[in-house]
Amino acid sequence: MKRLIALSLILLLASCAQPTQVYPTEPDGGIGGTGTKSPEVR
């Protein structure tokens, strides 16, 4: 029973720990810039 509780606790802690944002392997991309908004949408 104690092992089950310990395992549950570990799994709970693991699920609470959000993955750290890692750079530069984290995918990045898109279109953006300093300028004015595009007049059209899609």
Partner 1 sequence: MKSVIEITLRAFVRLLVAKGIGFPDAAETLKKLYIKAAQDLTTDGKLTDSRISVMTGLQRRDVARLRNIPEPADSKPNHQVRLMALWQTDPAYKDHPTLPRTGPAPSFEALSRDIRKDVHPRTVLEHLLTADAVSYDADTDHVRLEQSSYQPMAGSDDQMAYLAQNLADHSEAAVQNVLTEPSPYFDRSVHYNNLPKEAVLALQNEYHHGQMKLLKALNQKAARLQTDQPGYRFRAGGYFFHQKQDTE
- Nearest approach, Cβ of residue 4 and partner 1 (Å): 27
> Which residue, 4 or 28, is less far from partner 1 as judged by CB?
28
Q: How far is CA 6 from CA 2, 12, 28, in A?
A: 6, 10, 38
> Which residue, 1 or 41, is less far from partner 1 as judged by CB?
41
Residues 1-42 that bind partner 1 (CB under 8 A): 18-19, 21, 23-42
Q: How far is CA 32 from CA 20, 27, 29, 35, 38, in A?
A: 24, 16, 9, 8, 10
* Contact set with partner 1 (CB under 8 A): 18-19, 21, 23-42
